[in-house]
Structure 1
């Protein structure tokens, strides 16, 4: 879609569709907001679902608003389906309503005065379809999401899961080149989220355009996305397929996301010196800057310093205890902070309580070691 060439500061975007197999979305978002800068390169191929994850303040919302046309780029470019939608260097900017983008907001933002059918028909009507054809397309989408008998209901008459499906149908009814999902399951209870996630996965699999899922929920990301992009402080810190990212986290945020203890250090054979001087013995041999990771279930807790095979032992103090599935996750302070998973029976035997001092032990064979990019703090001792 193009903008009015007579509008000041707005030039028409060049036409054309991407060649087969090429990215539907080719973007480098640079947005300055006070002291914060988002610098996000991103490409998405046809039919691909990419999850954008990061802690609060990482820049996820800024990226979403930039894609939707609610924030102009400071620099970089946004090219979608072969057309530049935003390119400050060429003075190109396309208004929100003229972008081939569908959005499912966290709170859905359905028009409260319209029926489910007319909510979905709104977008096609804006695209130029007459009332009858727009309503027919809306009815088709209601049937696809299993709500054909809810056409005359208004948003207040829908459950959370039903409202989410209407919002998804409304976004897809405009046949978008890019579908933006902003925490699409966050407003649902756990049971509804499980069912709706499965339905969403089905509809995303049939979407031929690009999909960007913005979420803080690792389960949503793992189940729905083909690829993960992790941002912190406005920068990409890690990206890749789910298996790669979960197996080899490269930041504390990602490690917490996938439930691993993660440390950065310098390896010399089987010994890794961590950045604060603490040493770990590992099963793998490496030389140079590395990450060391191990699961909380690999951490054994003892009332006294253990004898025997574990070569990694150190004193710890309990900082907190939380339920984690059928077990307890214990947060521990010491030479390095660490999380340990213990059974309720073991917790009772150890008399776990905040402030209690114990010994932690991790077998070298339970550790996972992989290379890290060299940073100034990784200089060899």
Structure 2
């Protein structure tokens, strides 16, 4: 499948929500198949946005549509539970189950969704091989390095083929060499996927994303490609990102 075909198969995202008590009133869209950076200072609303998308935060007013699926619509009193959203979050801490093998960790999401155990493990092993962790399948997480554990977490996230992938500082706990290597791997795996990235690293943002949404004090102040942002950065954070790539 070509890059264009991948983008055509991926869903677009439309998001709007407000949480007045937190000073949040955020609305933006993500094109189908785009990996978009969500940037802003502390308290800008990045983590709350991820919580709304994953279903962990249910604002009084919200509308989230992913492809043709409505994840939430407060006006219509519609809300889809977190496990039924097709949204997967990859965080800086892999959070692998310590008593399960790497293969079983990677297969967990599929099995939880009802895929038979044998098929889940086969798909998990295939994905582990794709992320360069195939030889680790029978190890326990306690025997993995930080970089190896994050590869397993990436395999676990992608094996379910999520409609939307949320990446929350996914390489922050890795040393420079491991972070660069796994970032390069992710850049290939994210082609054609609809994804959002939170990062404080301009180099990482430009390596993984083609667009940005700039948040400031709970509002969207700028959106567009990196070239759009660079022409007139709306905030000091946006300026740092375009200057530090």
* TM-score normalised by L of structure 1: 0.59
What CA distance in whole angstroms lies between the structure 2 residues aligned with 1:138 and 1:256?
39
Question: Normalized per residue, which structure has more strand?
Answer: 1
Matches within 5 A, 1:1-381: 24-32=12-20, 34=21, 36-205=22-191, 208-259=192-243
What CA distance in whole angstroms lies between the structure 1 residues aligned with 2:227 and 2:67?
29
What CA distance in whole angstroms lies between the structure 2 residues aligned with 1:184 and 1:83?
27
What CA distance in whole angstroms lies between the structure 1 residues aligned with 2:122 and 2:93?
26
What CA distance in whole angstroms lies between the structure 1 residues aligned with 2:243 and 2:13?
31
What CA distance in whole angstroms lies between the structure 2 residues aligned with 1:163 and 1:22?
27
Q: Which has the higher contact order (CA 8 A, sep 6+)?
A: 2
**Which residue of 1 is the match for residue 3 of structure 2?**
none
What CA distance in whole angstroms lies between the structure 1 residues aligned with 2:154 and 2:193?
14
What CA distance in whole angstroms lies between the structure 1 residues aligned with 2:243 and 2:26?
26
Contact map agreement 1:100 1:178 (CA 8 A) in 2: yes
**Which residue of 1 is the match for residue 5 of structure 2?**
none
Note the C-alpha offset of 1:47.
Answer: 1.8
What CA distance in whole angstroms lies between the structure 2 residues aligned with 1:188 and 1:195?
10
What CA distance in whole angstroms lies between the structure 1 residues aligned with 2:148 and 2:107?
17
**Which residue of 2 is the match for residue 11 of structure 1?**
none
Contact map agreement 2:39 2:238 (CA 8 A) in 1: no
Secondary structure class of the residue paired with 1:216: coil
What CA distance in whole angstroms lies between the structure 2 residues aligned with 1:27 and 1:136?
35
Q: CA RMSD in A?
A: 1.7
> What is the aligned residue count?
237
Contact map agreement 2:123 2:159 (CA 8 A) in 1: yes
* TM-score normalised by L of structure 2: 0.91
Instruction: Tell me which stretches of 4 or more aligned residues in structure 1 moved more than 3 Å.
Output: 20-23, 256-260
Unaligned runs of 5+ in 1: 1-19, 261-381
Deviations 1:141-199 (A, max 9, x none): 01110111100112221111111111111111111110111111111111211111111
Note the C-alpha offset of 1:122.
Answer: 0.6
Unaligned runs of 5+ in 2: 1-7
What CA distance in whole angstroms lies between the structure 1 residues aligned with 2:26 and 2:119?
39
Deviations 1:72-96 (A, max 9, x none): 0221301113111111111111111
Question: Normalized per residue, which structure has more helix?
Answer: 2
What CA distance in whole angstroms lies between the structure 2 residues aligned with 1:139 and 1:190?
27
What CA distance in whole angstroms lies between the structure 1 residues aligned with 2:103 and 2:11?
33
Deviations 1:4-62 (A, max 9, x none): xxxxxxxxxxxxxxxx5895212113234x3x232222222332101101111111111
Contact map agreement 2:166 2:197 (CA 8 A) in 1: yes
Contact map agreement 2:97 2:141 (CA 8 A) in 1: yes
**Which residue of 2 is the match for residue 343 of structure 1?**
none
Deviations 1:265-312 (A, max 9, x none): xxxxxxxxxxxxxxxxxxxxxxxxxxxxxxxxxxxxxxxxxxxxxxxx
Contact map agreement 1:38 1:63 (CA 8 A) in 2: no
